A = this chain, B = another copy of it.
Amino acid sequence: MRIAIDAMGGDNAPDEIIEGALESIKLLDKGDTLILLGPAEVIESKLGAKNISKFADVIKIVNAPEIIGMDESPVDALRKKRNSSISIMTKLAADGQADAVISAGNTGACVAACQMRMRNIEGVHRPGIAVVFPTFEGPVTMCDVGANISCKPINFYQYAVMASMYSENLLGIKNPRVGIMSIGEEEAKGNEIVKKARELIRSDPKINFIGNIEGRDMFKGKCDVAICDGFVGNVVLKLTEGLVDGLFKVIKHEIKQQSFLLALRFKSVMMKMYQKYDYHEYGGALLLGVNGTSVICHGSSKARTIKNAIMASRKFYNMGINEKIKEYLATTTVKGADE
């Protein structure tokens, strides 16, 4: 498998990205290749310090002299910087020279580049990013968490289709229960687009649709798949991160006040918990709906995150759901009237 990695993407690029790639090598299969994209001289000098020759058969460098910043407008940046790591990386995938792409860079630019270069799977209107939330009641797949901030009903429907396949194929959940994120369990609640989306999803009997879910239901074992627009999903994702961090801080503080010894004993429990909710452990999220395998990483990814994202890209690639999505959408009678 050939995995292309945007060496210049994210707050800790290129050092942590390159370090993560190197750490993953021991976990790869024979014949696997890692393609690092960025200014060749930068990557070479970083690798030089680490004695690149011993990785020469695994690591390939593809020169991409331009860098898209985290705060640039995605569309403008892609138009102006055709030689950016994100642009060339997605072109490699489009040309069949890479089996998966990974970036911790500007999410908007990465999603747009995947759409422009690799194209959507036939029948897919807009791709969506799927993230798995580990909960006490089991994993919940949420889609979209940031690719599409102004969703139409047909987008919600297709997220329900694609995320169900993801849940079934990657997590082994048979006939996953799909809920749509809204502001009340009652049918009357939710904004107009969510209401229309609900009707559209309900019109497909193959989806195990349970209707509205509320924020709290994510952690109550009520659904296996949660559908929402990218704005809401992104807020949810980052809130969860921040809240878990914040809560552990409070617990630590309170325990220390009670007894230092108790704090020490609790530390191991906390570390175990922390891992379960730590995005670094998950590496990255799959961009559902594009032709190929695209893994979107957190902007503050570290070497460990990238290593895990590389391993995740292998799982996503081997899951092979793109063909199934294409078939499903070719035969469904549910069509969006508005796109």
Interface assignment of A237: CB less than 8 Å from any CB of chain B: yes
- A250-278, CB under 8 A of B: which get 1 and which 0? 11011100110010011011001100110
Interface assignment of A95: CB less than 8 Å from any CB of chain B: no
- The answer on a CB contact under 8 Å between A232 and B234 is no
- The answer on a CB contact under 8 Å between A258 and B269 is yes
Chain B residues near A183: list those with CB within 8 A. Answer: 146, 149, 230-231, 234-235
Interface assignment of A73: CB less than 8 Å from any CB of chain B: yes
Interface assignment of A123: CB less than 8 Å from any CB of chain B: no
Tell me the smallest distance from the CB of A298 to a CB of chain B, in Å.
11
Interface residues of A in 126-174 (CB under 8 A from B): 135-137, 146, 149-150
10 sample A-B contacts, Cβ–Cβ < 8 Å, listed by A number: A72-B188, A136-B250, A136-B253, A146-B183, A214-B235, A220-B245, A235-B235, A236-B239, A254-B273, A258-B265
User: Chain A residues in contact with chain B, CB under 8 A?
Assistant: 70-74, 107-108, 135-137, 146, 149-150, 181-192, 214-220, 228, 230-232, 234-247, 249-251, 253-255, 258-259, 262, 265-266, 268-269, 272-273, 276-277
